[in-house]
Amino acid sequence: MNNNKLTELNEQAIKYIAVGAAVLGTGGGGDPHIGKLMAMEAIRKYGPVRVVRPEDLGDDDLVVPLSMIGAPTVMNEKIPSTEQMTKPLDLIEKELGRKVNAIMPIEVGGGNSLVPVLAAAERGIPILDADAMGRAFPESQMVTFHLDGIDCSPITMADERGNGVLMHAIDGIWEERMARAITIQMGGSASICDYPVSGAQVKQSAIPHTLSLAYEIGKTLFESKELRQNPIEALLMQLHGYALFHGKAVDIRRRTEGGFTRGEAVFEGTDAQKGRTMRLFFQNEFLLATEDGRSLAVTPDLIALLDQDTGMPITTENLKYGARVTAVGFPCDPKWRTPKGLETVGPQYFGYDTPYVPIEELAAGKGGDL
C-alpha cells in the first residue's frame, strides 16, 4: 500500500472502499453495493466525512463502532435509513453522558465498512481509519477488543420502526446471544453500537488503517483494467495472497438461520483445473475451502471469491449458479493466530472438524488434511 493518507471520504473514496471492503469481507459484512449507495447518498446530502487515524486520537477520546447486525440477505430487503443509524448513537451518548469524538466500523468487510458513514455525515463526526477485525466475522465477540478483555457495554440497537434497545452484557459472548435474539425479533436486521472505546484502547487493540487498505484494494481493481493488468494477479501481489481455485459454481445451498446466512457452495474446475472440485462453507462469511478432504484455506485467514474476468468480489448472498470465479486466500492479522484468537474464530468454534493451518503453509503443501 502506498503512503497517501486517506483524509476524507468523498464519492470516489466510497466507490473504492466498497470494492476493497468486499474483498476483505470474505463474502460477508453486508452487501457492499447497498453500503455504497447509502454512503454516497449521505455524502451528497451532508458533504464529505473527515477521516482520522488512530495515532491522531487523544487517549481520552470516545470512539464508538456502528454497524448492522443480522443476515445480509435481510439487509438487502430492508435498507436502513439515516434515522436507524443515528438512533443507537444517540442512545449510547445519553447512557455515557458525553459526545462521541469519532465513529468507527466494527469490521472492514462489505457494507459494514460504509454503514458508519451515514451517521458520521449527518452528525459531522469523523470516521476512524481502523476496525476491530481486519476482515468480517459473523458474531459480536469476534473482535480484537474481545481478545484484549475490553468491555462490550453499553450496547444500543435500533430497527426501522423506531424501536431502540439499551443493554449491558457481561462479555461479548453474552452480547452476541442477546443481540442476536433481539435482531431476530427486529425482523432479522438491526443497527448496533457496541464496544465504546477510548482513544488509548483503540491504539492498543484496533487494526489500524484498514479503510485505507480497502481504498487501495478498490483502486487496484479499478485501475488494473486501465493499466491492462490482470486484476486478480495485481490484487494477490498487493495482499500477499494465494490463488486457491478457478472454476464455476455448480451448487449453492443458502439458508437464513438464527440470524445468519449459512450454507455451502460447490465449484467445478474449469480450463486447466477441469476435474477438480472445491467446497466452500460459510456463515455470513466464507470460513473454509476444501478439495478432496484437504483444506485450501481455513478461518481466520481470509477467503474471497473474485469474478474471473473483472476481479470484482462476490458476496455470499450474491453468489449465483454458473458464476465463474477465482477463489483466493490471504493471511489474517496476527492477532487472530494467537490461542485466544483461534479459540474465538478458529474452525472448531464454527463446528468444522479440521485444524487451523496458516494459509502460507497450506499453499506450500504442508498440512491441511481433514
Virtual torsion, Cα 26, 31, 37, 43, nearest 10 deg: -50
Q: 282 and 175 in one domain?
A: no
Return the pLDDT at 79.
74
Q: 176 and 268 in one domain?
A: no
Q: Which DSSP string do the residues of 127-164 spell out, in sequence order?
A: EESEESSSS--SSTT-SHHHHTT----SEEEE-TTS-E
Q: 58 and 168 in one domain?
A: yes
CA atoms within 13 A on the CB side of 54: 19
* 250 in a structural domain: yes
Q: 246 and 202 in one domain?
A: no
Q: 278 and 199 in one domain?
A: no
Q: 139 and 108 in one domain?
A: yes
Q: 147 and 46 in one domain?
A: yes
Q: Is the pLDDT of residue 343 over 80?
A: yes
Closest CA to 284 of 106, 138, 141, 79: 138
- Coil, strand or helix at 228: coil
Which pLDDT band holds residue 72 (cuts at 50, 70, 90)? low
- Choosing from 178, 210, 242, the residue where a domain stops is 210
Write out the three cell numbers for 19: 470494492
CA atoms within 13 A on the CB side of 163: 11
**pLDDT single digits (tens) 179-237:** 999 999 998 889 999 999 999 999 999 999 999 999 999 999 999 878 888 999 999 99
CATH number for the domain spanning 81: value is 3.40.1610.10
Write the CA distances from 31 to 62, 75, 244, 252, integer angstroms.
Answer: 28, 8, 23, 18
The answer to whether 65 and 206 are in contact (CB under 8 A) is no
**pLDDT single digits (tens) 14-69:** 999 999 999 999 988 777 788 899 899 999 999 999 999 999 999 999 999 999 98
Domain count across the chain: 2
* 2 in a structural domain: no
Closest CA to 24 of 358, 315, 363: 315
Other CB atoms within 10 Å distance of the CB of residue 112: 28
- Choosing from 210, 242, 267, the residue where a domain stops is 210
Q: 267 and 183 in one domain?
A: no
Q: 178 and 268 in one domain?
A: no
CATH number for the domain spanning 279: value is 2.40.390.10
Which pLDDT band holds residue 128 (cuts at 50, 70, 90)? very high
Return the pLDDT at 75.
63
Return the pLDDT at 76.
62
Comparing 79 with 3, the larger pLDDT belongs to 79
Domain membership of residue 114 as a residue range: 8-210
- Choosing from 180, 210, 240, the residue where a domain stops is 210
Which pLDDT band holds residue 99 (cuts at 50, 70, 90)? very high
